[in-house]
Structures are given as C-alpha cells and as structure tokens.
Structure 1
Amino acid sequence: MSQEVIVDIYISADEYQRYYRGSASRVVATTSDGRTVQFPAGVLQRVVGHDGVRGRFAIRFSQAGKFESIERLG
C-alpha cells in the first residue's frame, strides 16, 4: 500500500541548478500536516520548469519508503 504526502515546494531555477549539478542531493520539505520529509532531488526532474519548481505536489512512496510518483496538484 502506498503512502502519500502533500508538500508545497518553491525552488528557483538557480537554486535547482545546485541540485542538478549534484552539490545538493536531498530536498527537505514540510508536509501540509506539519511533518518534515526529505527525498532525493532527482524526484523533482519530472516537475521542474523554466522558473524552477513551484507549487503543491503529492508525493507517493511505498511502505518501505521508496519513491513511486510525484504529481502537481491544482
């Protein structure tokens, strides 16, 4: 059974370049219910745009904590 967290992410294009180049490998975010989560920066490749990563996202992961999917909400 999958688990899901909802996070608001605002990373500028310049800041995202740090992740892309590998100088930062993990993203730390606060969920909509106040928990702190961290996940590999590579997860965001599917949702990065010209202005970086901005918006509310549902991130799904397995019971074992393995990433399954990310979806932009709204």
Structure 2
Amino acid sequence: MYQRLHVVLKIPAYQLLYYYEGEVDTVAAKAVDGRIIHFPANILRSVVRNNGVYGTFELVFDEHNKFVSISRVSD
C-alpha cells in the first residue's frame, strides 16, 4: 500500500544551489498533517522552476518507504 503525503515547499533557487554543489543531499519538510519528513533532494529535480520549488506537492512512497513519485498539487 502506498503512502501519500502532502507537503508545502518554499525553496528559493539560491538554496537549491547547495544541492547542486553537493553540500546538501536531504530535504526536511513538514507534511500538511504535521509530520516532519526527510527525503533525498534529488527527487525535486522534476519540479524545479526558475525561481526554485514553491507549492504544495504530493509525495508517494511504497510500503518500504521507498520514493515512488512527486507531483505538484497547487502553486
């Protein structure tokens, strides 16, 4: 059974440089339900825009807590 979490992300482009430069490899975010989750920064690649990563996203994990997908729910 997959687990779906909604998170609101506000990551400006300059902060994403830390990932691209290899200084950061994990993102910590607060899910809408209040849980704090940690996930690999590289999963954000598909949702990065010119100004960074902003909006509400659905993260899907499998039964082994392995990342499956990320999609933008709203801006």
TM range (shorter): over 0.9
Return the letter of the residue paired with 1:51: N
> Percent same amino acid among aligned pairs?
39
1:2 paired with 2:5, answer no
CA distance, structure 1, for counterparts of residue 20 and residue 60 of structure 2: 22
What is the alpha-carbon root mean square deviation over aligned residues?
Answer: 0.6
Identify the residue that residue 11 of structure 1 maps to in structure 2.
Answer: 11
Q: TM-score, normalised by structure 1?
A: 0.97
What displacement does 1:7 show?
0.2
Q: What secondary structure does 2:19 align onto?
A: helix
Q: Name the residue aligned to 1:61.
A: 61
Letter in 1 for 2:24: A
SS in 2 for 1:22: coil
Structure 2: distance between partners of 1:37 and 1:49: 22
Question: What are the ranges of 5 or more consecutive residues in structure 2 without an aligned counterpart?
Answer: none
Q: How does 1:1-74 map to 2 (within 5 A)?
A: 1-74=1-74
The list of structure 1 runs, each at least 4 consecutive aligned residues, that deviate by more than 2 angstroms after superposition, is: none
Q: Number of matched residues?
A: 74
Q: Amino acid of the residue matched to residue 72 of structure 2?
A: R
Q: Structure 1 unaligned runs (5+)?
A: none
Q: How many Å separate the matches in 2 of 1:24 and 1:32?
A: 23
